[in-house]
Amino acid sequence: MERKPTRQFGEDDAMRTTNVNPQTDKNGSGRVFWKRVDFWVILLLLAVAAAFYRDSWQEIREGIRQIAWRELLHCILLSLAAYVLEGMTIACMMSAVRSGSDCTFPVKRGTAIAYLCEFYRLITLGSGSGFAEIYYLHKSGIETGTATVLTMLQYVCKRIAILTLGCLGGLTLCCGRKTSLAYRGLFREYAVFIAAGCMISIGVIAAFLSVAVSAKITNVIISLLDKISMRFPSSEKSVCGWKEQAILLNRSGGIILVQRRKIAGAILLQIGKLVLFYLIPAYLLHRQLASTIDWHVGGMQDAAMSWQICVWLMAVVYMLSGIIPAPSGAGSLEFVFLLFFSGMIRAQAALPAILVFRFATWIVPFLIGGAVKIWFD
């Protein structure tokens, strides 16, 4: 029988009971103590994150000053809509493991979890998002092992969406009749990196799916991990954790992947989320790009075409930035963005766009996640 969640977002603790006995009072005191500890730990992490991202925040503030407030508002609205789709993705993945009358999962709660994950991603320099999602899925009534598998498979859905849009963007810009003149040389110059980005994404996706659907591959991986543990005894603890993850993914992943419609729905939702993200720089840069299309493609100036080029180019940039190791992706996206967009747009115009993109998809979700943490967690 499925375990019901012990606490919902926004539940009023004062409504639980009116009779207090010594035992519940003791538990309540312990709960207050750990909340205080949690507060100081989060405060310390915030201080570390503020110091680490100090330069980035100053650059973002300068980028915001270079655009109109209406443009900033529109970018924020695009980001908020994208996180609603992220919440829908979490709800879709949760429904894949539920059955009966309680098979649905509120999108509102899924969106709250998405913002909480962004809050922890920032304060832990990119390493805490997955753990936060597992924790809050467990609080919502999902066993820890199943929550771990759901988080892994959601990551796979995200990588599939990034790869799909990135490959489509590259093919469109390279082979499209109107855009090939502008980007054929650029993509030829960086073809090795683009191919590497595609292969790494395919490798990550294939590795997760292989472990999820094949017991033989899982056994092979476990055997290799055992050899690594014997060869390097100091890594035994980490290897045990990897083995547990592989076993969990194999046991539960296949059951979830059988529900193809829900997995396909999760992928489509992730594609929609990414498109909304990609529309942010397109909204800020399509006018500047439209003025350069006339020179690059021989007088075929078209406003719709400038939007399409921005979205497809951003899809390629986002895919490539994922293979550059950096805490929370800080710096890698900006580097690849300026590398590709500066071929068509002046760097002075492109830089504020990527900084505003960071603000809308990075700082705003972090602030909302912090508010959710304070008021509802």
Residues ≥6 apart with Cβ < 8 Å to 361: 79, 82, 277, 280
Average pLDDT over residues 30-56: 61
Going by C-alpha positions, the residue among 188, 109, 187, 166 that lies closest to residue 142 is 109
Tell me the pLDDT tens digit for each residue of 150-195.
888 888 899 999 999 998 888 887 776 666 566 666 777 777 777 8
Q: How far apart are CA 247 and CA 96, in angstroms?
A: 19
- The answer to whether the beta carbons of residues 190 and 296 sit under 8 Å apart is no
Q: How far apart are CA 15 and CA 22, in angstroms?
A: 18
DSSP structural state of residue 140: T
Going by C-alpha positions, the residue among 248, 60, 233, 267 that lies closest to residue 159 is 267
Look up residue 64 and give its two tokens.
């915001």
What pTM, to 2 d.p., does this model score? 0.79
Residue with tokens 């650029």, as numbered in its chain? 186
Helices of type H across the chain: 22-52, 54-65, 69-95, 107-123, 129-139, 144-175, 180-189, 191-213, 215-231, 236-257, 260-296, 303-321, 332-341, 347-358, 364-375
- The answer to whether the beta carbons of residues 294 and 301 sit under 8 Å apart is yes
**151-to-20, 94, 105, 165 alpha-carbon distances in Å:** 38, 10, 15, 21
Residue with tokens 């000053």, as numbered in its chain? 65
**5-to-9, 262, 301 alpha-carbon distances in Å:** 10, 23, 56
Residues ≥6 apart with Cβ < 8 Å to 190: 339, 340
Tell me the pLDDT tens digit for each residue of 255-301.
777 778 888 999 999 999 999 999 999 999 887 776 665 544 444 45
Tell me the pLDDT tens digit for each residue of 215-268.
788 888 888 878 787 877 777 777 777 777 777 777 777 777 777 888 899 999
Question: Which pLDDT score is estimated for 289?
Answer: 75
Region of poorest pLDDT, from 106-120, 166-180, 306-320: 166-180
